[in-house]
Amino acid sequence: MVKITYDGQAFECREDESVLDCLGAHGISVPSSCHAGVCQSCMMRAVHGKLPAKAQSGLKPAHVAKNFFLACICHPDKDIEIAFVDETLQKFPADVLDISRLNSDIVRVRLRPRQPMQYSPGQFIRLYKDASTSRFYSLASVPQLHENDIHLHVRKMPGGIVSGWIHDKLHTGDVVNISESFGECFYLPGHPEQGLLLVGTGCGLAPLYGIILDALTHGHRGPIQLYHGSTSIGGLYLIEELSDLSKAFPNFKYVPCISAVETPPGFASGTVLEVAMAEHADLSGWRIYLCGNPEMVSNAKREAFLAGASMREIYADPFLPTVSSAVACQ
Amino acid sequence: MSSLYEKIGGEPAVNAAVDIFYRKVLKDDRIKHFFNDIDMEKQAAKQKAFITMALGGPNKYTGLDMRKGHAHLVARGLNDSHFDAVVEDLGATLKELNVPAESIAEIAALLETTRNDVLGR
């Protein structure tokens, strides 16, 4: 019988058992739905050992290359060691270059990883306060513009252990540990004429900002429309940078939205989703990026889908079941 | 004999069907309230597994899965009329994808065999 090692424990896997069955039999619950290799909710990663080819059927080449597999259709014929995808992120140190204020409760953290880092703007990394405490933060920087440096936007959460530490204790010259990047929410070159709709609240702007800069850097020609919302002007940030960007690039439109108070000139009135959807009755063929308040993201997915956007064109960091896009900056 | 799943083009065809079908379901006043407050990605994955099963593609759904998976909806009043609505929406989806009427009838007949399990009877 082959052995499956997970989290330091080895389990014997019978021939008629899938990895999903075997882990389940030992009390390790893997998110799953179809049990037929179709829905991909049970995706895991092999960290040692050789996977049977069938266990990776239907996965994207990038995932195959990283030894991801589907637990429900994986019947290992050799010993393997496996982990949940978000447990396998490589960890390395980075220098804190500076921390600057973006608005009253959001700062930008600039880090320089001590090893070359490949990432797509809009993905997120794990930032460790210590070995056991970490949070996910989205990448607002772009390799072509910021070289080796990465930018995070961090909102100070009430009682936030990691965000409070970043705001109050972290300084230029400190060294922190971060993980390699992860997530599916990023710009995909190859469709330069496609419309891009980006809707975000608060520090949900971080990944969207990275995606916009990335798209413009790639010479995207189709419309790129950003709706960034908050209850008041004070909750928005990068207003000037985004306005300047919209002047420099005619295909980029920036719509700052204010929901709760009187709206000054230059700002749209209403929630960010109301404003965005009122201007986009037909989203067929568009690619949609959503980030921020979980309720907004969930409603926006539905409304964008009903307005004709394909499910596969709606991106909201859907990939880690334990991390919603909503917490990737807090 | 190849299954309808293979005949219509396997997984890519199912992917196309999921968007159309799910949009119909979310706009269907008879059943859309069952789909409030749910995670759309997870639901789409389920729709994909459902359509794959309906077309005779690879699946391992058992009657017990059907019972367990719908028990919380039965408690909220899921009945025959809702089951019919789903079958109808899937039929309309497949029609849009130019699946022949006789194949759609075949699929409806297959779904019919799950009715009592889905409705917890």
Interface subset of A 43-62, CB within 8 angstroms of B: 58
**A194 interface with B at CB cutoff 8 Å:** no
Contact A311 B26 (CB under 8 A): no
| Contact partners, residue A233, CB within 8 Å, separation at least 6 | A239, A256, A258, A264, A267
Radius of gyration of chain B from its Cα atoms, rounded to whole angstroms: 14
* pLDDT at site A19: 95
Cβ-Cβ contacts under 8 Å, A40 against chain B: 45
Amino acid occupying residue A97: L
Tell which residue, A145, A227, A219, has the closest CA to residue A187: A219
* pLDDT at site B62: 77
Amino acid occupying residue A146: H
Cα dihedral A197, A201, A203, A207, rounded to 10, equals -20
Most A CBs within 10 A among B36, B48, B64, B93, hence the mutation to make, goes to B48
Please give, rounded to a whole number of angstroms, the shortest distance from the CA of A67 to a CA of chain B. 22
The phi and psi torsions of A79 (rounded to 5 degrees) equal: -60, 140
CA A309 – CA A317 distance, rounded (Å): 17
**B60 interface with A at CB cutoff 8 Å:** yes
Nearest CA in chain A to B66: A34
**B5 interface with A at CB cutoff 8 Å:** no
* pLDDT at site A326: 39
B104, β-bridge pairs: none
**B70 interface with A at CB cutoff 8 Å:** no
List C-alpha distances in Å: A114 to A91, A94, A179, B114.
Answer: 11, 5, 12, 57
What is the share, in percent, of chain B residues with pLDDT greater than 90? 45
Half-sphere exposure of B4 toward its Cβ, with a 13 Å CA cutoff? Answer: 20
Is the backbone of residue A140 left (phi > 0), alpha (psi -120 to 50) or beta?
A: alpha
Nearest CA in chain A to B42: A41
Contact B26 A306 (CB under 8 A): yes
Please give, rounded to a whole number of angstroms, the shortest distance from the CA of B19 to a CA of chain A. 6
- Per-residue pLDDT of A12-36, as tens digits, reads 999 889 999 999 999 998 888 777 7
* pLDDT at site A284: 94
Low-confidence ranges of chain A (pLDDT < 70): 317-330
Nearest CA in chain A to B20: A310
Mean pLDDT of B100-116: 91
A224 versus B10: the higher-pLDDT residue is A224
Residue A268 near residue A256 (C-beta atoms within 8 A): yes
CA A216 – CA A209 distance, rounded (Å): 11
Nearest CA in chain B to A38: B49
* pLDDT at site A318: 39
* pLDDT at site B16: 85
Compare CB distances from A302 to B18, B26, B61 and report the shortest one's residue.
B26
Identify the DSSP state of A182: B
Amino acid occupying residue B60: K
* pLDDT at site B4: 82
* pLDDT at site B8: 81
| Contact partners, residue B15, CB within 8 Å, separation at least 6 | A312, B48
* pLDDT at site A328: 57
**B114 interface with A at CB cutoff 8 Å:** no
* pLDDT at site A179: 93
Band of residue B12 on the pLDDT scale cut at 50, 70, 90: confident
* pLDDT at site B39: 75
Mean pLDDT of B67-85: 93
Compare CB distances from B11 to A35, A58, A318 and report the shortest one's residue.
A58
Nearest CA in chain B to A319: B41
**B45 interface with A at CB cutoff 8 Å:** yes
Half-sphere exposure of B53 toward its Cβ, with a 13 Å CA cutoff? Answer: 23
Contact B39 A298 (CB under 8 A): yes
CA A67 – CA A85 distance, rounded (Å): 10
Question: Length of chain A, please?
Answer: 330
Compare CB distances from A35 to B39, B48, B60 and report the shortest one's residue.
B60
Contact A40 B45 (CB under 8 A): yes
Tell which residue, A140, A142, A130, A145, has the closest CA to residue A109: A140
Contact A34 B45 (CB under 8 A): yes
Compare CB distances from A39 to B19, B27, B45 and report the shortest one's residue.
B45
